[in-house]
């Protein structure tokens, strides 16, 4: 391919030029995702050596000083270090520095007299990453929630994902919420099934958090969004114990705003316009957390232990989000929810310094959440609760109800084989088990069809009960996700070059993945907004409801939906990288790297259906220390980044699946089950738009054979300047553009047109085209089993014009400005402002417009008509963002902190039915058509600005060192700004308005307070 040929040539030139310079002398440093470096210069290098010693564990590294006075100690665990200049066996000067993950700490020795200089924070002129690093000390002082998501969201270029995605699903640098990577101590903890969410540590076990939003080197991959890289705390030479108690009392939380139906002014929405949809003002949430930690030396200077345990409980009482709606027929029996969510997180960390050059680490942690939900009756008219439990639900590590969770074990070795050769090896495994069970009570049956009916869709005088307590699609209980990961990194210093190489392998499996329609199916009651004798599009036909008789004579009808996709799914991922960091001069550092990734996906029968190799990702970075004193840095990066598809694509795209609908008229409704009676079909048979009839899918036919991976190119340019010893200012410009994406298309028309051009092909046994993964906007080649033999496959080459899709487009442009004051003179503060523009016709692997969870096989590209007019600002676009946070030591005993967010609103869309689309190919209300007019992205304006201020006050009494009492107040002004709304206009393919169009889906969390008492004691 032309693109790959150009890449190969450019890489050859880049590495060839680098190889010509391997004889020059200087020192450069390489970065790691779990370690950092100490570098610097000595004014008179003759006879000097440098000793770098960890102040907490006494781990020592002795490094030489080269002829130009430069020195470097690499692969150091994060922490506080003493850097000692030694001459003739005596220490003549010391510096104290803090090593952060993925960064370098500079120590400069300019005199020969004995002195000790405390820590100072200069600009790291070796770092070109976009993002931020937060230490445990900073996180303890800031008023933020105790989870990784809250850390991510205070970093620049990050936004919170759609409320319908699991907690922790956030957008980095304009990417989709599934396009990120998450690591703990170098091990990938991303949810393998959907890439939405991740496993978490006890918050008190986080040592450092590195949030990368771009510009990262060849070591990192599998992300076109960003990286959240967490390292844990470790034991030291002093035993330390601590405990924490937190309480978010419900009595100090503001009431949630109620949600109302929008006023649409249509005849069929008159009964609901402007009326109450869900009462939330009576909802109450009470949270409690307790935690303990202990750490210290099992063998002084050699073997260290750190352990942490946190348990939290969240009690919720209020209206249920599904059955607790004012218009729900189930509210009287199951409208009120009482739930208990218990989360247990633990960490065990062992560090063995075999000697100063060899180190072993073990990390074991668990993240388990259980939720028990009990539903009882609620009367909207009186606000009374009957207290009689009508249904119960139990979940464990169940996405959407609890965090994803899991258990992880990691072993890591670091060896300094020689002064110039370092080896790092890691192996780990994670396992996540899922549970979801439902209790049976009188009038409740989770084994019958679900029933959905809006007030406008109900025949007067009939009852429409919904005895199934579960809504939507659910997994089977007992599902399991497993990840095995191994990696090897080698670093070698040669003259003024630091060469790094590495490989990694990930093995992912998801057992009993997929979902099925709870109860086996769904009855959806509807009424045509037109005359009952007027034909309307239903499934693959256009028919008048009156033609079926019964209540169809009044325009009423019902649609049966069946869906299941339960199967196993597997994926293998591998990568290799090379990187050369070249210190061209003492002030100019160039980094040239290349990463090659591969991944394959297998279906439930372990048959390979997707195998993508040669994902060549060049990376380049340059950093210029303009003044030679770390006071002004100018830097830039350029690179290509790839992301794999999750195991979830195997579930529906490559394995057996059933998804059919069929509409009927009816003459009555069963008063117990809510099922229709006297059915007369309006459509002749169940119909599947995507040809999903639970048939076998040949693995060679479910993905284009010409498939290329999802990737994007990025370039950044910026500077940082030390305005003074206490203030740093910086600016950065970023440009990202998506070059290719993978999704599925489900349009049989190009194949039928190809058959018309090739009439000799025998199609007598062809069951039709369903869906296949492809590259939108490109030529694609498919294999099709026209003969239905399973072996005699026909190659079908379809051009971009044949397929009818526009190019996939997504760009992200941003300008970041920041001002930072280090913790000095009693205060720390940082202000970030970001102007950004995230636009295109595809969000990426996800579809936030409708909150679709089918990652990499969304509805977006199923048929060309769905993408007409879809260009514009994307769901994660926030044109303006201001993030400011910090803390101030008022006195030795009192400290205050603050965290401010101000950002512009999310773009609003209108998705309606398109009457020009033939009924057999219609997808209902998913088109960029609104009230008969084109409605490109963002045409409905934007949601309001979001502004939130969080503050805290901490008391650290002098009479008991180690004790901290703190109160945090989140969302002080209690601004409950709308975060997302329903954007679907019509009921299916009809022109009937949905009463939910424009209804609020989520708002900011109301004001609440948190009390914390924490005690830590060192022996």
Give SS3 for 757: helix
| Confidence grade of residue 26 (pLDDT, cut at 50, 70, 90) | very low
Structure-token match 């139906």, residue found: 261
CB distance 318 to 339 below 8 Å:
no
Q: What is the mean pLDDT of residues 700-714?
A: 96
Q: Is the pLDDT of residue 31 over 60?
A: no
CB distance 83 to 15 below 8 Å:
no
Half-sphere exposure of 372 (CA within 13 A, CB side): 5
List the end-to-end C-alpha distance of the chain, in Å, as a whole number: 64
Instruction: Indicate the pTM of the whole model.
Output: 0.89
* Alpha carbons 564 and 472: distance in angstroms, whole number: 11
Burial class (CB in 10 A: 0-12, 13-18, 19+), 335: buried
Give SS3 for 331: helix
Q: What is the mean pLDDT of residues 865-892?
A: 97
**Is the dihedral angle over the CA atoms 669, 675, 677, 680 positive or is it negative?**
positive
* Alpha carbons 64 and 346: distance in angstroms, whole number: 41
* Alpha carbons 621 and 584: distance in angstroms, whole number: 13
pLDDT at site 561: 96
* Per-residue pLDDT tens over the stretch 275-317: 999 999 999 999 999 999 999 999 999 999 999 999 999 999 9
Tokens coding 482 = 């497993």
Lowest mean pLDDT among 615-619, 723-727, 986-990: 986-990
Rg (CA), the chain: 30
| Confidence grade of residue 47 (pLDDT, cut at 50, 70, 90) | confident
Burial class (CB in 10 A: 0-12, 13-18, 19+), 611: middle
Q: What percent of the chain has pLDDT over 90?
A: 79
Q: Is the pLDDT of residue 365 over 50?
A: yes
pLDDT at site 19: 36
* Per-residue pLDDT tens over the stretch 734-758: 999 999 999 999 999 999 999 999 9
pLDDT at site 348: 99
Paired with 343 in beta bridges are 312, 369
* Alpha carbons 914 and 697: distance in angstroms, whole number: 31
Structure-token match 């995230």, residue found: 838
| Confidence grade of residue 32 (pLDDT, cut at 50, 70, 90) | low
Tokens coding 422 = 């370092």
Annotate 804-819 with three-state secondary structure.
CCCCCCEEEEEEEEEE
Q: Is the pLDDT of residue 2 over 50?
A: no
* Per-residue pLDDT tens over the stretch 752-776: 999 999 999 999 888 889 899 999 9
Supply the DSSP symbol for 749: H
**Is the dihedral angle over the CA atoms 113, 117, 123, 126 positive or is it negative?**
positive
* Per-residue pLDDT tens over the stretch 139-148: 999 999 999 9
pLDDT at site 112: 44
* Per-residue pLDDT tens over the stretch 217-231: 999 999 999 999 999
- Region class of 926: left (phi > 0), else alpha (psi between -120 and 50), else beta: alpha
Structure-token match 């209980």, residue found: 477
* Per-residue pLDDT tens over the stretch 817-859: 999 999 999 999 999 999 999 999 999 999 999 999 899 999 9
pLDDT at site 23: 35
| Confidence grade of residue 474 (pLDDT, cut at 50, 70, 90) | confident
Tokens coding 768 = 């039709």
pLDDT at site 467: 87
**Cβ count near 817 (within 10 Å):** 16
* Alpha carbons 64 and 51: distance in angstroms, whole number: 9
* Alpha carbons 720 and 635: distance in angstroms, whole number: 9
Q: Going by DSSP bridges, is the β-strand pair 240-248/473-474 parallel, antiparallel, or unpaired? A: unpaired
**Cβ count near 799 (within 10 Å):** 11
CB distance 982 to 943 below 8 Å:
no
pLDDT at site 11: 38
Is 130-232 CATH 2.40.100.10?
no
Q: Is the pLDDT of residue 485 over 50?
A: yes
pLDDT at site 755: 97
Q: What is the mean pLDDT of residues 350-366?
A: 97
Q: Where in the chain is the domain with CATH 2.60.40.1120?
A: 24-117
The pLDDT mean for the chain works out to 92
Alpha carbon of residue 80 to chain centroid: 32
pLDDT at site 122: 67
Tokens coding 272 = 């609901």
Annotate 255-303 with three-state secondary structure.
CCCCEECCCCCCHHHCCCCCCEEECCCCCEEEEEEEEEEEEEEEECCCE
* Alpha carbons 880 and 892: distance in angstroms, whole number: 37
* Per-residue pLDDT tens over the stretch 377-414: 999 999 999 999 988 999 999 988 999 999 999 999 99
Q: Going by DSSP bridges, is the β-strand pair 522-527/556-564 parallel, antiparallel, or unpaired? A: antiparallel
Q: What is the mean pLDDT of residues 594-607?
A: 95
Which comes out higher in pLDDT, residue 804 or 692? 804
* Per-residue pLDDT tens over the stretch 640-664: 999 999 999 998 889 888 999 999 9
pLDDT at site 136: 96
pLDDT at site 652: 83
Structure-token match 């105790």, residue found: 146
**Is the dihedral angle over the CA atoms 475, 476, 477, 481 positive or is it negative?**
negative
Q: Where in the chain is the domain with CATH 2.170.130.10?
A: 130-232
Q: Is the pLDDT of residue 121 over 50?
A: no
* Per-residue pLDDT tens over the stretch 958-971: 999 999 999 999 99
* Alpha carbons 13 and 743: distance in angstroms, whole number: 34
SS3 content of the chain, % helix, strand, coil (to 5): 10, 50, 40
CB distance 850 to 926 below 8 Å:
yes
- Region class of 674: left (phi > 0), else alpha (psi between -120 and 50), else beta: left
Q: Is the pLDDT of residue 524 over 50?
A: yes
Cα 473 to Cα 197, 853, 923: the distances in Å are: 19, 11, 19
Q: Is the pLDDT of residue 431 over 90?
A: yes
CB distance 622 to 591 below 8 Å:
yes
CB distance 978 to 1003 below 8 Å:
yes
* Per-residue pLDDT tens over the stretch 666-693: 999 999 999 999 999 999 999 998 788 8
Architecture per CATH, 24-117: Sandwich (2.60)
Paired with 64 in beta bridges are 49
């Amino acid at each position: 391919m032309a693109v790959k040929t150009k890449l190969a040539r450019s890489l050859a030139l880049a590495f060839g030029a680098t190889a010509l310079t391997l004889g020059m002398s200087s020192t450069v440093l390489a970065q790691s995702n779990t370690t950092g470096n100490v570098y610097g210069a000595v004014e008179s290098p003759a006879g000097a050596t440098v000793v770098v010693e960890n102040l907490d564990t006494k781990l020592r590294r002795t490094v030489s000083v080269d002829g130009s006075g430069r020195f470097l100690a690499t692969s150091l665990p994060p922490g506080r270090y003493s850097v000692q200049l030694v001459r003739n066996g005596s220490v003549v000067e010391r510096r104290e520095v803090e090593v952060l993950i993925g960064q370098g700490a500079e120590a400069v020795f300019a005199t020969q007299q004995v002195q000790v200089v405390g820590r100072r924070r200069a600009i790291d002129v070796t770092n070109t990453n976009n993002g931020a690093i937060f230490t445990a000390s900073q996180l303890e002082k800031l008023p933020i929630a105790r989870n990784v998501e809250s850390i991510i969201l205070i970093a620049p270029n990050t936004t919170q994902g759609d409320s319908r995605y699991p907690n922790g699903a956030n957008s980095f640098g304009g990417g989709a919420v599934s396009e990120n990577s998450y690591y703990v101590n170098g091990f990938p903890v991303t949810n393998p099934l959907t890439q939405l969410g991740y496993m978490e540590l006890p918050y008190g076990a986080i040592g450092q958090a590195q949030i990368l939003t771009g510009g990262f080197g060849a070591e990192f991959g599998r992300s076109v969004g960003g990286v959240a890289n967490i390292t844990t705390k470790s034991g030291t030479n002093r035993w330390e114990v601590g405990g924490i108690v937190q309480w978010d009392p419900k009595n100090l939380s503001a009431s949630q705003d109620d949600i109302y139906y929008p006023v649409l002014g249509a005849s069929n929405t008159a009964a609901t316009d402007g009326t109450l949809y869900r009462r939330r003002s009576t909802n109450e949430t009470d949270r409690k957390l307790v935690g303990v930690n202990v750490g210290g030396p099992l063998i002084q200077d050699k073997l260290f232990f750190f352990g942490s345990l946190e348990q939290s409980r969240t009690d919720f009482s209020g209206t249920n989000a599904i059955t607790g709606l004012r218009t729900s027929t189930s509210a009287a029996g199951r409208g009120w929810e009482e739930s208990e969510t218990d989360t247990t997180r633990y960490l065990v960390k062992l560090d063995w310094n075999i000697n100063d050059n060899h180190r072993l680490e073990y990390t074991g942690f668990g993240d388990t959440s259980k939720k028990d939900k009990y539903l009882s009756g609620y009367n909207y008219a009186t606000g009374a609760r009957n207290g009689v439990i009508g249904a119960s639900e139990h979940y464990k590590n169940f996405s959407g109800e609890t965090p994803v969770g899991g258990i992880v074990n990691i072993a890591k070795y670091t060896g300094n084989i020689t002064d110039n050769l370092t080896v790092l090896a890691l192996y780990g495994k994670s396992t996540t088990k899922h549970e979801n069970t439902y209790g049976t009570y009188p009038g409740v049956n989770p084994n019958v069809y679900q029933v959905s009916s809006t007030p406008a869709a109900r025949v007067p005088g009939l009852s429409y009960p919904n005895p199934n307590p579960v809504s939507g699609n659910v997994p089977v209980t007992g599902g399991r996700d497993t990840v095995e990961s191994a990696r090897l990194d080698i670093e070698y210093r040669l003259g003024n070059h630091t060469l790094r190489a590495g490989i990694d392998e990930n093995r992912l499996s998801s057992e009993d993945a997929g979902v099925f329609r709870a109860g086996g199916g769904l009855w959806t009651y509807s009424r045509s907004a037109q005359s009952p004798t007027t034909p309307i599009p239903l499934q693959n036909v256009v028919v008048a409801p009156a033609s079926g008789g019964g209540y169809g004579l009044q325009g009423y009808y019902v649609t049966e939906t069946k869906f299941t996709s339960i199967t196993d799914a597997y994926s293998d991922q591998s990568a290799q990288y090379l990187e050369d960091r070249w210190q061209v001069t003492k002030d100019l550092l160039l980094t040239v790297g290349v990463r090659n990734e591969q991944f394959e996906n297998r279906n439930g029968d372990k048959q390979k259906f997707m195998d993508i190799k040669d994902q060549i990702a060049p990376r380049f970075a340059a950093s210029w220390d303009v003044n030679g004193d770390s006071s002004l840095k100018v830097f830039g990066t350029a690179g290509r980044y790839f992301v794999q598809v999750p195991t979830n694509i195997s579930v529906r795209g490559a394995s057996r699946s059933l998804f059919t609908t069929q509409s009927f008229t009816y003459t009555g409704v069963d008063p117990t089950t809510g099922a229709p009676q006297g059915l007369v079909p309006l459509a002749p048979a169940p119909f599947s738009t995507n040809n999903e009839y639970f048939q076998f899918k040949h693995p060679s036919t479910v993905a284009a054979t010409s498939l290329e991976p999802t990737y994007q190119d990025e370039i950044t340019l910026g500077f940082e300047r030390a305005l003074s010893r206490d203030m740093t200012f910086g600016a950065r410009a970023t440009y990202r553009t998506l070059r290719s994406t993978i999704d599925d298309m489900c349009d049989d028309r190009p194949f039928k047109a190809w058959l018309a051009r090739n009439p000799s092909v025998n199609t007598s046994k062809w069951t039709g085209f369903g869906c296949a993964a492809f590259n939108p906007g490109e030529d694609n080649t498919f294999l099709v089993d026209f003969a239905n033999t399973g072996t005699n496959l026909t190659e079908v080459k379809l051009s971009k014009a044949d397929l009818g899709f526009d190019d996939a487009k997504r760009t992200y442009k941003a300008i970041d400005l920041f001002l930072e004051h280090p913790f000095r003179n009693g205060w720390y503060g940082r202000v970030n402002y970001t102007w950004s523009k995230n636009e295109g016709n595809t969000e990426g692997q996800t579809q936030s417009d409708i909150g679709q969870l089918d990652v990499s096989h969304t509805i977006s590209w199923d048929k060309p008509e769905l993408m007409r007019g879809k260009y514009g600002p994307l769901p994660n676009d926030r044109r303006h963002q201001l993030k400011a946070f910090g803390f101030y030591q008022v006195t030795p005993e009192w400290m205050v902190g603050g965290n401010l967010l101000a950002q512009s609103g999310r773009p609003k869309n209108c998705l309606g039915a398109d009457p020009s689309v033939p009924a057999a190919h219609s997808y209902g209300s998913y088109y960029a058509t609104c009230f008969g007019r084109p409605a490109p992205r963002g045409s409905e304006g934007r949601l309001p600005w979001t502004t939130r201020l969080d503050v805290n006050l901490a008391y650290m009494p002098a009479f008991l060192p180690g004790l901290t009492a703190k109160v945090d107040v989140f969302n002080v002004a209690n601004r409950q700004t709308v975060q997302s709304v329903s954007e679907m206009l019509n009921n299916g393919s009809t022109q009937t308005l949905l009463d939910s169009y424009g209804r609020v889906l989520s708002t900011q969390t109301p004001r609440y307070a948190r009390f914390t008492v924490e005690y830590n004691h060192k022996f």
